[in-house]
Amino acid sequence: MTTSTRGASRTPAVLVLEDGRIFRGRAYGAVGVTFGEAVFSTGMTGYQETLTDPSYHRQVVVMTAPHVGNTGVNDEDPESKRIWVAGYVVRDPARVPSNWRSRRSLDEELTKQGVVGISGIDTRALTRHLRERGAMRVGIFSGNALPDEGTMLAEVRQAPEMKGASLYEEVATTEAYVVPAIGEKKFTVAAVDLGIKGMTPHRMAERGIEVHVLPATATAEDIYAVGPDGVFFSNGPGDPEKAEHPVSLMREVLERKTPLFGICFGNQILGRALGFGTYKLKYGHRGINQPVQDRTTGKVEVTAHNHGFAVDAPLDRVSDTPYGRAEVSHVCLNDQVVEGLQLLDQPAFSVQYHPEAAAGPHDAAYLFDRFVELMAEKGAQRA
């Protein structure tokens, strides 16, 4: 335990939004400068998972929960090998971590990984601002000699925008690897890594699936080289409009009618592959309390979300696509955003949210079972 004085850091920090609004606080994590898209996440637990989720690449994440870092950092909960967020905004960082699994403090971890953050600002005011004005570019500047506001604002406005950004290649694995099935192996899945979270292959492995995680640049040959019973497209950062390679890759999978499952970015890829449009939400869905209705059963599940883009598909009817009829299978009850798609004439479906959770509730874990069923049916047909 530490005997530090109050407020871990007294180094000043400034958060500058591209529309000119400025928040002054204290440095948190690494001292320096960072830029990204300002987004807020409303989860009250799971900061480690959030920080290490590749979908947050190039985003500065504002935590609406005021106390962050209370349980420290452990070695089991990260969703990838590093922290991906471009910057981190919290109100009251913990001075002392408390948890039997904690290995070090979050502050130390952020510093070690060079993640620039800011603490002590009115995160609720910032969240309300983003809600009303939409996600936007932001810069965090910390240190004892900061440039003037005009200079900082100019720098923020030079940073790249999220719309039109192709980012998945930057986060995906460059080498294929295998996550072995837990227990008896029943299926093989080729998972195209567009920014995959560690929990996703784990959820499949728990169900007897051997997961071959392939780089985002994988070709159809690479996919079918592993002899897959099903193909999976992962979550990931960036604008789906720029994801030409994954879209054409998915079309090849759809052509061959291999059972297909997509999550998040993977859902947007399926949408585009089917001919639907995608668009950027004003401020996105980021949190672990979102009500999603499974339209086939009418049941509501509380789900984990992290998406700034969404699929534009009609809710009120079945659509015809090059791969047969498709419908919106899931919808977010807060704002009627499309949260899932399914093909009616061949085994393919996807969801916009995170059934693997981590962080978040486990209500939607049944979707992995659904994927298993599709593969089992397909197998049965083949046999």
> Does 334 help bind another protein (rule: CB under 8 A)?
yes
- List Cβ<8 Å contacts ≥24 apart for 283-287: 283/39, 283/40, 283/130, 283/131, 283/134, 283/135, 284/39, 284/135, 284/308, 284/309, 285/332, 285/334, 285/337, 285/353, 286/39, 286/40, 286/41, 286/42, 286/43, 286/61, 287/41, 287/42, 287/43
Please identify, using beta-carbon distances, which residue of 219 and 297 lies nearer to another protein.
297
Could you give the CA distance from residue 242 to residue 231 in angstroms, rounded to a whole number? 21
Contact 93, 106 (CB under 8 A): yes
Residue of 360, 368, 372, 374 interacting with another protein (CB under 8 A): 360
Q: Which position among 264, 301, 307, 330 bears the catalytic label?
A: 264
| 236 labelled binding-site residue | yes
Q: Is 356 noted as a catalytic residue in this protein?
A: yes
Q: Where are the beta strands (DSSP E) in the chain?
A: 12-17, 22-29, 33-41, 59-63, 67-68, 87-89, 92-93, 116-119, 136-142, 177-179, 187-192, 209-214, 230-233, 260-263, 277-294, 300-312, 319-321, 324-332, 338-343, 348-351
Q: Pick the closer one to another protein by CB: 6 or 382.
A: 6
Neighbours of 86 (CB within 10 A): 22
Q: For residue 229, what are its two tokens?
A: 């019973």
Least distance from another protein to the Cβ atom of residue 96, Å: 4
How many residues bind another protein (CB under 8 A)? The answer is 59
**Residue 198, annotated as binding a ligand:** no
**Cβ at position 289, least distance to another protein in Å:** 4
Interacting residues with another protein between 117 and 156 (CB under 8 A): 121-125, 127-128, 131
| 20 touching another protein, by CB under 8 A | no
Catalytic hit among 18, 37, 79, 356:
356
Element (H, E) at 184: none
Contacts (CB under 8 A) with another protein, residues 232-291: 287-291
Active site residue 202: no
265 is in an annotated binding site: yes
Active site residue 332: no
Kindly give the pairing relationship between strand 59-63 and strand 92-93: unpaired
**Is 1 a residue that touches another protein (CB under 8 A)?**
yes
Residue 21 lies near another protein (rule: CB under 8 A)? no
CB of 71 to another protein, least distance (A): 5
Is residue 378 near another protein by the rule CB under 8 A?
A: no
The answer to the question of whether 309 is labelled as a binding residue is: yes
- Whether residue 48 is annotated as binding a ligand: the answer is no
Question: CA of 301: how far to CAs of 199, 232, 291, 305, 329, in Å?
Answer: 19, 22, 6, 12, 13
Q: Tell me which residues in 281-320 interact with another protein (CB under 8 A).
A: 287-291, 293, 298-300, 302
The active-site residue out of 129, 245, 305, 354 is 354
- Residue of 154, 315, 318, 333 that binds another protein (CB under 8 A): 333
Shortest reach from residue 69's CB to another protein, in Å = 10
Considering the complex, what minimum distance in angstroms separates the CB of residue 4 from another protein? 9
Q: What angle do CA 266, 271, 277 make, to 5 degrees?
A: 125
Alpha helical stretches, state H, 135-188: 149-158, 168-171
Of 11, 98, 151, 219, the residue at the interface with another protein (CB under 8 A) is 98
349 is in an annotated binding site: no
**Side chain identity at 171, as an amino acid letter?**
V
The DSSP bridge pattern shows strands 22-29 and 12-17 to be: antiparallel
Of 81, 101, 104, 282, the one binding another protein by CB under 8 A: 101
Q: Which of 40, 56, 187, 233 binds another protein (CB under 8 A)?
A: 40
Question: Among candidates 271, 227, 281, which has minimal Cα distance to 246?
Answer: 271
The SS3 of residue 252 is: helix
Which chain residues interact with another protein by CB under 8 A? 1, 5-7, 23, 40, 42-46, 48-49, 64-67, 70-71, 74, 76-77, 91-92, 94-101, 121-125, 127-128, 131, 287-291, 293, 298-300, 302, 333-335, 357-362
Which active-site residues does the annotation give? 264, 354, 356
Cite the annotated binding site by residue number. Answer: 55, 236, 238, 265, 268, 306, 308-309
